[in-house]
Amino acid sequence: MTDTTSNQMWGGRFSAGPDAIMEAINASIGFDKRLAAQDIAGSQAHAAMLAAKDIITDSDARAILEGLEQVLGEINDGSFAFSTRLEDIHMNIEARLKQVIGEPAGRLHTARSRNDQVATDFKLWVRDQFDAFENGLVALIKALLAQATAGFDWVMPGFTHLQTAQPVTWGHHMMAYVEMLGRDHERFSTVSNHANVCPLGSGAIAGSTLPLDRVHVAKALGFVDETGEACLTPNGMDAVADRDLFVEFASACSLCSLHLSRLAEDLILWNSSEFGYLRLSDSFTTGSSLMPQKKNPDCFELIRGKTGRVIGNLSNLLVTIKGLPLTYNRDLQEDKPPVFDS
């Protein structure tokens, strides 16, 4: 059914609302709700800067900051009602802010567009990812090191062309994977550093005529270099069209998955009765009712299998971006599902 009321956030000159099909394909809230915390942090930094530059009043800024805290609380405790009519996380939050604090909410979007807003939110999200999974990667590297130490003199065949080549040790083999994951660790921290350039202030594409303080916003959001200097995107058109960081992140995820997949493949081969080098524990294998002799290495087959998905996400992203004219095109909304999935 078509709702005849136009969108409350941008529908000023529209007399009819979107068709139900349009509403369904238009909405990204189903996946970009994941950016809620980053969106609110970005809005708070923007509002504080607008007040510091006397573009909005201190009392409006205070109402906005407090209102956003309340909205974040509602999202975190699960009481927030997300709406597909409001398309995305940015408009869902802003509409709720309006219900909570009334008219000052309208001033939050001064000198800002969803184009620089979403670029900022997603960069903040990528920057936080490595912190979230670094411990897991380090634990895996340590587990491989422990294996290498335990088996530093366990002689086994090394292979080329999947044929016995030269005698090596289990330790030598495990250390090869330590090297790969060490490179992954370095790559993820480089990608996290690349996230530290702030797009806010670019507006829709061409900045703003208002006297914004981009340095203030960048510092508040931690978009700084090692010396604490603010890092700002220099070209607004590039800033709203650029998705390099997300491609880099999806690429680092692909390489890391590829290393895990090769490790999984070795373990699958070595666990087979044809090789018989190792026996996997019951808790990480599955059986077959028809063929009771089998103990299947499903955990490693699934790691190998999921790697296909992660590599697919990288090409999904590259293909989505490759033909887009400058600057922002709505196709770019589709950048999030593959990156979140990776």
Residues forming the site for ligand ARG (CB under 6 A): 28, 32, 88, 114-115, 118, 328, 330, 332-333
**DSSP letters along 306-322, please?**
HHHHHHHHHHHHHHHHH
Query: String of b and e for 123-138 (b: at least 16 CB within 10 Å)?
Result: bbbbbebbeeeeeebe
Report the residue number, 88 or 94, with the smaller CB distance to ligand ARG. Answer: 88
- The 3-state DSSP composition of the chain as helix, strand, coil percent (nearest 5) reads 65, 5, 30
Residue 33 Cβ vs ligand ARG, minimum distance, rounded to whole Å: 11
Residue 252 to residues 52, 72, 129, 188, 247: CA-CA distances in angstroms? 39, 31, 12, 6, 9
CA dist., res. 186 & res. 194, Å (int): 13
Residue 32 Cβ vs ligand ARG, minimum distance, rounded to whole Å: 6
To 5 degrees, how large is the angle CA 283–CA 263–CA 269? 70
Q: By CB neighbour count within 10 A (0-12 exposed, 13-18 middle, 19+ buried), where does 42 fall?
A: buried
Residue 129 Cβ vs ligand ARG, minimum distance, rounded to whole Å: 18
Residues sharing a CB contact under 8 Å with residue 26, sequence separation 6 or more, in sequence order: 18, 87
Other beta carbons less than 10 A from residue 238's beta carbon = 15
Report the residue number, 63 or 332, with the smaller CB distance to ligand ARG. Answer: 332
Residue 176 Cβ vs ligand ARG, minimum distance, rounded to whole Å: 41
CA dist., res. 237 & res. 233, Å (int): 10
**Catalytic residue chosen out of the listed positions 83, 272, 288, 315:** 288
Report the residue number, 118 or 175, with the smaller CB distance to ligand ARG. Answer: 118
Q: Is 88 helix (H, G, I), strand (E, B) or coil?
A: coil
Residue 56 Cβ vs ligand ARG, minimum distance, rounded to whole Å: 22
Residue 115 Cβ vs ligand ARG, minimum distance, rounded to whole Å: 5
Q: Is 168 helix (H, G, I), strand (E, B) or coil?
A: strand
**Catalytic residue chosen out of the listed positions 79, 161, 273, 283:** 161
Residue identified by tokens 């922002």 is 328
Report the residue number, 263 or 317, with the smaller CB distance to ligand ARG. Answer: 317
Report the residue number, 147 or 320, with the smaller CB distance to ligand ARG. Answer: 320
Residue 235 Cβ vs ligand ARG, minimum distance, rounded to whole Å: 18
Report the residue number, 118 or 230, with the smaller CB distance to ligand ARG. Answer: 118
Report the residue number, 114 or 214, with the smaller CB distance to ligand ARG. Answer: 114
Active site residue 288: yes
Residue 266 to residues 41, 146, 179, 328: CA-CA distances in angstroms? 44, 18, 16, 44
Active-site residues, by number, are: 161, 288
